């Protein structure tokens, strides 16, 4: 222990060493750490104590989780609000809290300590006339998907989200490894951030045997699929196949439902020395992902984030109107490629059932064009349905 510590540190250290319960230990250690002057001579001590603090936090979470199975569900559920829910994921210290604070009015704690954020924190981000919910989560780490600490809780939130924001720390020695770690933990939780070209969906049925349905030509044989289902003791099911798939994808689909989440990657701390170079390496390795540089501290490159998130989500805004009335102020949020028919159903089932025609402003050929149920909607369309 460095000799030049102020006397209150000795007192706080004793308190920490004497604490029995994990929660007391955490609190005492935090106070002790906070009282230590930060300079070269105390660097190693601080690093050691920070690691200990991180371990204690994980251990505490683990105990709580073991105690009750409903714990995960209660703690790691954030009610969805606004047009979509984006879950922020990243390793500790990558800048998740800083980014949440920058984009929303939420006030998360930001310290230089690992695992400062131990529960999800929501905030609302504005994009033009809509609000998108951002939820910061406790840091992920290698092995999170295997079930320690809050890993399963956070990954469960990711699974339930409409989209993800991965935060990478460009000041870390290897930002590429950070992104690989996140993708790996998501993969192991059967969450993919790249939309697969092929897709298998299995619907179990009561009767009818095995049916294989595919819109395009299959590169696996129907016989092989049936044989596989047979081996897995599935007698009745519809196997829907889209695009390029292997038999292995069918096996995967039997065991797990892999979900795709639209994702943007924020490469944070672009202000630090060497960050530009590290970012180029990152972009080369992951050129199939949406990568954006940002500095949460200098507030650099943040203006475009809401727009990029909106684009990644592949959603559109549709404003309904009544005859001779102005359009609704608040849009309906729909998936890209939605039709007038989808919109009618969303308003009320009668609008669909009794549909006569619709008038469309925005993407239409001319304002108020008469369109039918199959017409595909575009962002910012104004729609009037006649029944
Ligand atoms: N240089 C620099 N530091 C940052 C930036 N964003 C966050 N930090 C620092 O990184 C540390 C961790 O930030 P925090 O937002 O708490 O990260 P979290 O653990 O991912 O929530 C804090 O000391 C921040 O001040 C940035 O853009 N540039
Ligand atoms: Mg945080």
Q: Are residues 62 and 169 in the same domain?
A: no
Cβ–ligand 1 distance for 178 under 6 Å, the answer: no
Chain segment 20-68, per-residue pLDDT in tens:
998 899 999 999 999 999 888 898 998 899 888 888 888 888 787 777 6
Q: Are residues 149 and 296 in the same domain?
A: yes
Placement of tokens 């490159």 in the chain = 301
Cβ–ligand 1 distance for 95 under 6 Å, the answer: yes
Cβ–ligand 1 distance for 117 under 6 Å, the answer: yes
Q: Are residues 187 and 97 in the same domain?
A: yes
Q: Are residues 166 and 281 in the same domain?
A: yes
> Closest ligand to 138 CA?
2
Residue at 40 is within a domain:
yes
C-alpha span between 12 and 15 (Å, rounded): 5
Of the candidates 50, 51, 63, which has an alpha carbon nearest to the alpha carbon of residue 22?
63
Q: Are residues 233 and 161 in the same domain?
A: no
Placement of tokens 């979509």 in the chain = 84
Q: Are residues 356 and 378 in the same domain?
A: yes
Q: Are residues 153 and 282 in the same domain?
A: yes
Output the pLDDT for position 119.
86
> Closest ligand to 89 CA?
1
Q: Give the count of domains, the chain.
A: 4
Q: Are residues 168 and 209 in the same domain?
A: no
Return the structure tokens found at 126: 């504005």
Cα–Cα distance list, 113 to 8, 170, 202, 351 (Å): 21, 17, 45, 55
Region of 200 on the Ramachandran plot (φ > 0 left; ψ -120 to 50 alpha; else beta): beta
Cβ–ligand 1 distance for 295 under 6 Å, the answer: yes
Return the structure tokens found at 312: 């990644």
Q: Are residues 28 and 145 in the same domain?
A: no
C-alpha span between 144 and 154 (Å, rounded): 9
Output the pLDDT for position 75.
81
Residue at 268 is within a domain:
yes
Residue at 1 is within a domain:
no
Please calculate the CA angle 176-179-180 and round it to the nearest 5 degrees.
85
Residue at 73 is within a domain:
no
Mark which of 290, 312, 334 sits at the end of a domain.
312
The closest residue, in CA terms, to atom 16 on ligand 1 is: 110
Query: How far does residue 72's CA lie from ligand 1's centre (Å)?
Result: 27
C-alpha span between 236 and 294 (Å, rounded): 51
C-alpha span between 296 and 269 (Å, rounded): 7
Return the structure tokens found at 182: 């996140």
Residue at 2 is within a domain:
no
Query: How far does residue 374's CA lie from ligand 2's centre (Å)?
Result: 45
CB 191 within 8 A of CB 305: no
Question: Within the chain, which residues score under 50 in pLDDT?
Answer: none
**Residue of 53, 98, 107, 123 best suited for mutating to test ligand 1, as the one with most atoms within 8 Å of CB:** 98
Query: How far does residue 218's CA lie from ligand 1's centre (Å)?
Result: 49
Q: Are residues 99 and 84 in the same domain?
A: yes
The closest residue, in CA terms, to atom 26 on ligand 1 is: 269
Q: Which CATH number fits the domain that encloses residue 349?
A: 3.10.20.30
Work out whether strand 332-335 and strand 315-320 pair parallel, antiparallel, or are unpaired. Answer: antiparallel
Cβ–ligand 1 distance for 268 under 6 Å, the answer: yes
Residue at 30 is within a domain:
yes
Of the candidates 159, 217, 212, which has an alpha carbon nearest to the alpha carbon of residue 188?
159
Give the position, in ligand 1's atom list, of the atom nearest the Cα of 298.
Answer: 27
Torsions phi, psi for 180 (to 5 deg):
-60, -40
Residue at 234 is within a domain:
yes
The closest residue, in CA terms, to atom 12 on ligand 1 is: 93
Q: Are residues 356 and 288 in the same domain?
A: no
- The residues, ordered by sequence, that sit 6+ positions from 70 with a Cβ below 8 Å of its Cβ are none
Cβ–ligand 1 distance for 98 under 6 Å, the answer: yes
Mark which of 312, 335, 351 sits at the end of a domain.
312
Mark which of 16, 35, 67 sits at the end of a domain.
67
Q: Say how many CA atoms lie within 13 Å of 125 toward its Cβ.
A: 27
C-alpha span between 319 and 334 (Å, rounded): 11
Return the structure tokens found at 370: 């008469």
Residue at 72 is within a domain:
no
Q: Are residues 282 and 344 in the same domain?
A: no
Give the position, in ligand 1's atom list, of the atom nearest the Cα of 99.
Answer: 15
Output the pLDDT for position 3.
61
The domain of 335 spans 316-386
Cα–Cα distance list, 266 to 187, 300, 351 (Å): 19, 12, 42
- The residues, ordered by sequence, that sit 6+ positions from 148 with a Cβ below 8 Å of its Cβ are 58, 62
Please calculate the CA angle 48-89-123 and round it to the nearest 5 degrees.
110
């Amino acid at each position: 222990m460095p000799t030049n510590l102020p006397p209150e540190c000795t007192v706080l250290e004793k308190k920490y060493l004497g604490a029995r319960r994990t929660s007391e230990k955490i609190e005492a250690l935090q106070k002790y750490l906070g009282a230590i002057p930060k300079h070269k001579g105390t660097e190693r001590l601080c690093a050691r104590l920070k690691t200990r603090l991180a371990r204690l936090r994980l251990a505490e979470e683990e105990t709580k989780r073991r105690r009750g199975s409903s714990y995960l569900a209660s703690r790691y559920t954030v009610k969805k609000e606004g047009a979509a829910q984006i879950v922020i994921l990243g390793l500790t210290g990558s800048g998740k809290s800083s980014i949440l604070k920058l984009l929303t009015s939420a006030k998360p704690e930001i310290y230089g300590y690992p695992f400062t954020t131990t529960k999800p924190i929501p905030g609302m981000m504005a994009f033009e006339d809509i609000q998108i919910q951002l939820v910061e989560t406790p840091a992920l780490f290698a092995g999170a998907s295997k079930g320690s600490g809050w890993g399963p809780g956070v990954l469960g939130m990711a699974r339930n989200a409409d989209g993800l924001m991965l935060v990478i720390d460009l000041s870390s020695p290897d930002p590429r490894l950070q992104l690989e770690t996140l993708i790996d933990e998501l993969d192991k939780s059967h969450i993919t951030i790249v939309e697969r070209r092929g897709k298998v969906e299995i619907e179990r049925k009561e009767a009818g045997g095995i049916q294989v349905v595919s819109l395009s030509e299959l590169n696996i044989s129907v016989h092989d699929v049936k044989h596989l289902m047979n081996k897995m003791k599935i007698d009745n099911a519809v196997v829907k196949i889209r695009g390029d798939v292997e038999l292995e994808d069918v096996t995967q689909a039997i065991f797990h439902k892999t979900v795709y989440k639209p994702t943007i990657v924020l490469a944070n701390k672009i202000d630090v020395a060497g960050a530009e170079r590290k970012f180029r390496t990152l972009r080369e390795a992951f050129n199939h992902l949406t990568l954006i540089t940002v500095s949460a501290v200098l507030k650099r490159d943040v203006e475009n984030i809401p727009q990029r998130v909106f684009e990644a989500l592949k959603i559109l805004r549709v404003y309904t109107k009544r005859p001779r009335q102005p359009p609704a102020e608040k849009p309906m949020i729909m998936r890209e490629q939605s039709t007038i028919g989808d919109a009618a159903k969303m308003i009320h089932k009668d609008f669909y059932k009794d549909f006569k025609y619709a008038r469309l402003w925005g993407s239409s050929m001319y304002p108020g064009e008469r369109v039918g149920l199959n017409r595909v909607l575009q962002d910012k369309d104004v729609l009037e349905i006649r029944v």
